[in-house]
């Protein structure tokens, strides 16, 4: 889920293979420490924090849990559904905890025998996650009341003693982060990158334009999950915040988020607006274009190329091998550069960004996407067959 910038760091430095520039990259895995210049105890900020207290009264835990249509699970049920949280059911690890693959009965939503029923993803809070319970509850609160095709579906939760778990729809293609950066993964085609950008923009626009707007605050490649057809959905609402209401232009909060994606003014002042999400969207667009991880200097490095039609190819992902629409790339680069403007008010709204991106998805591109999805789906099922065959052979050495 989310990360506080102040926590401990795991930094991995690598070099870009690009001949034009060398840029150091860190793993997007959170907990990269940066010290915000914003001091939460300063007088001005305390006043702002008082304003936060005047926001609509947050609901109590009891209200949140009783008002949602989410299924409460017993710990033992989820233990069975994930084969006792076995390491081979592990889908991934984040700041909040581990995510396991599990099976539940589609109708009764009770734990099912592994391999039977509906596949789900079960996120289990690590005991040491400091903000754990608060983020867990925020996630239940937002995903319990917001339903949209581009937000991951939360099916249920478990709150039992020290145990905090969340049960989500399973997203078979994992995170965008894995597709863009994991070594050995099949490169995403240009058409799929645009498809992902559009779906993610739809998710964010929905949140920003809601009757009571929401700032997502942790928009990044690892929180964009993909279903079998590469439809993107936002996950992780642990850091989401109610947007400003009335005459207020911002809310002030402790600086939380992920290094490389957070807007500079938010890091400096703790002042949060929907334009902070727009900045993070610009960073992800840049990752989609360049195939490079967001980090301290990706934005600075790429900025000079974004408005330059002739030099744009220098930042484009070499894994695309030149197979992208030059016009489309220029439009997307221009959008990224607008999102990354230092002045938040000069950044476009998510709805405007969405409109421009949708124009890139012409019927011809849409047809290309559908072909590429079909190709990838065949590749996915072949790799599943390969995986099950190799498991079978591993289990039966006498077959050789």
Backbone angles phi, psi at 321, to 5 degrees: 50, 40
User: Encoding tokens for residue 243?
Assistant: 């947007």
Cα separation, 72 vs 359, whole angstroms: 42
Query: Measured from the CB of residue 176, what is the shortest distance to ligand ATP in angstroms?
Result: 9
Cα separation, 89 vs 329, whole angstroms: 38
User: Encoding tokens for residue 107?
Assistant: 């109708």
- Contacts of Mg ion in 220-239 (CB under 5 A): 223, 236
Q: Angle CA(84)–CA(88)–CA(90) in degrees, nearest 5? A: 80
Backbone angles phi, psi at 241, to 5 degrees: -135, 145
Task: Calculate the CA 180 to chain-centre distance.
Answer: 13
Size of the site for ligand ATP (CB under 6 A): 26
Q: With binding defined as CB under 6 A, does residue 92 bind ligand ATP?
A: yes
Q: With binding defined as CB under 6 A, does residue 89 bind ligand ATP?
A: no
Query: Measured from the CB of residue 143, what is the shortest distance to ligand ATP in angstroms?
Result: 11
327 marked as part of a ligand binding site: no
Q: With binding defined as CB under 5 A, does residue 258 bind Mg ion?
A: no
Q: Which is nearer to ligand ATP, 77 or 177 (CB)?
A: 177
Query: Measured from the CB of residue 373, what is the shortest distance to Mg ion in angstroms?
Result: 24
Cα separation, 254 vs 271, whole angstroms: 9
Q: Which is nearer to Mg ion, 133 or 314 (CB)?
A: 133
CB 258 within 8 A of CB 29: no
Q: Which is nearer to Mg ion, 236 or 317 (CB)?
A: 236
Q: Which of ligand ATP, Mg ion, none interacts with 51 (beta carbon under 5 to 8 A by kind)?
A: none
Query: Measured from the CB of residue 191, what is the shortest distance to ligand ATP in angstroms?
Result: 22
**Contact residues for 171 (Cβ-Cβ < 8 A; gap 6+):** 121, 152, 225, 226, 227, 233, 235
Residue whose beta carbon is closest to Mg ion = 236
- Binding string, residues 100-139; x marks residues near ligand ATP by CB under 6 A: ---------------------x-x----------------
Question: Which of 94, 144, 244, 282 is the binder for ligand ATP (CB under 6 A)?
Answer: 94
Q: With binding defined as CB under 6 A, does residue 99 bind ligand ATP?
A: yes
Scanning 90-98, 192-200, 299-307, 333-341 for contacts with ligand ATP by CB under 6 A, the matching segment is 90-98
Question: Active site residue: 48, 218, 277, 317, which one?
Answer: 218
Q: Which is nearer to Mg ion, 225 or 333 (CB)?
A: 225
Q: How many residues does the chain have?
A: 400
> How distant, in Å, are the alpha carbons of 148, 186, 351, 369 from that of 191?
23, 14, 21, 5
End-to-end CA distance of the chain: 45
Q: With binding defined as CB under 6 A, does residue 170 bind ligand ATP?
A: yes
- Contacts of ligand ATP in 198-237 (CB under 6 A): 222-223, 225, 235-236
Question: Which of 165, 171, 240, 278 is the binder for ligand ATP (CB under 6 A)?
Answer: 171
Query: Measured from the CB of residue 225, what is the shortest distance to ligand ATP in angstroms?
Result: 5
Cα separation, 280 vs 83, whole angstroms: 37
Cα separation, 345 vs 343, whole angstroms: 6
Backbone angles phi, psi at 235, to 5 degrees: -125, 170
- Contacts of ligand ATP in 25-44 (CB under 6 A): 30
* 218 is an active site residue: yes
Q: With binding defined as CB under 6 A, does residue 175 bind ligand ATP?
A: yes
Scanning 41-49, 87-95, 275-283, 333-341 for contacts with ligand ATP by CB under 6 A, the matching segment is 87-95
- DSSP state string for 272-318: E-HHHHHHHHHHHHHHHHH-----TTHHHHHHHHHT-TTTGGGGS-G
Tell me which residue of 182, 172, 95 sits closest to 132, measured CA to CA.
95
Q: With binding defined as CB under 5 A, does residue 139 bind Mg ion?
A: no
Question: Which of 5, 142, 168, 230 is the binder for ligand ATP (CB under 6 A)?
Answer: 168
Q: With binding defined as CB under 5 A, does residue 28 bind Mg ion?
A: no
Looking at 75-220, which runs of residues are DSSP E strands?
90-93, 97-104, 118-125, 154-160, 163-169, 214-215
Q: Which residues bind ligand ATP (CB under 6 A)?
A: 1, 3, 30, 91-96, 99, 121, 123, 152, 168, 170-171, 174-175, 177-178, 222-223, 225, 235-236, 258
Residue stretches of the annotated binding site: 124
Q: Which residues bind Mg ion (CB under 5 A)?
A: 94, 223, 236
Q: Which of the residues are catalytic?
A: 218
Residue stretches of the annotated binding site for ATP: 124
């Amino acid at each position: 889920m989310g990360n506080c910038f102040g926590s401990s760091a795991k930094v991995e430095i690598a070099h870009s293979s690009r001949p034009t520039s060398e840029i150091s990259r860190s793993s997007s895995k959170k907990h990269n420490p940066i010290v915000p210049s914003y001091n939460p105890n300063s007088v001005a900020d305390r006043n702002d924090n008082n304003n936060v207290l005047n926001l609509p009264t947050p609901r109590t835990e009891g209200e949140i849990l009783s008002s949602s249509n989410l299924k409460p699970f017993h710990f033992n049920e989820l233990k069975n559904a994930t084969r006792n949280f076995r390491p081979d059911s592990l889908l991934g690890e984040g700041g909040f905890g581990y995510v396991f693959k599990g099976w539940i009965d589609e109708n009764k939503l009770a734990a099912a025998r592994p391999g039977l029923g509906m596949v789900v993803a079960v996120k289990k809070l690590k005991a040491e996650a400091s903000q754990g319970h608060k983020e867990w509850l925020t996630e239940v609160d937002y995903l319990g009341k917001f339903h949209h095709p581009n937000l991951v579906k939360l099916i249920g939760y478990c709150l039992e003693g020290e145990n905090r778990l969340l049960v989500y729809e399973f997203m078979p293609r994992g995170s965008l982060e894995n597709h863009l950066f994991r070594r050995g993964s099949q490169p995403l085609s240009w058409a799929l990158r645009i498809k992902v950008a559009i779906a993610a923009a739809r998710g964010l626009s929905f949140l920003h334009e809601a009757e009571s707007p929401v700032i997502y605050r942790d928009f990044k490649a690892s929180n964009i999950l993909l279903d079998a057809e590469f439809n993107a959905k936002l996950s992780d609402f642990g850091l989401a915040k109610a947007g400003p209401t009335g005459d207020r232009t911002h809310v002030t909060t402790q600086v939380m988020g992920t290094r490389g994606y957070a807007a500079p003014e938010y890091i400096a002042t703790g002042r949060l607006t929907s334009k902070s999400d727009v900045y993070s969207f610009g960073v992800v667009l840049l990752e989609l274009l360049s195939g490079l991880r967001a980090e301290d200097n990706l934005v600075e490095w790429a900025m000079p190329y974004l408005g330059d039609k002739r030099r744009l190819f220098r930042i484009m992902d070499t894994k695309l091998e030149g197979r992208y629409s030059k016009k489309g790339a220029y439009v997307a680069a221009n959008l990224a550069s607008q999102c990354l403007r230092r002045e938040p008010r000069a950044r476009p709204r998510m709805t405007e960004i969405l409109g421009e991106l949708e124009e890139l998805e012409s019927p011809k591109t849409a047809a290309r996407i559908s072909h590429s999805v079909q190709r990838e789906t065949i590749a996915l099922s072949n790799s599943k067959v390969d995986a099950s065959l190799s498991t079978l052979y591993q289990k039966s050495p006498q077959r050789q």
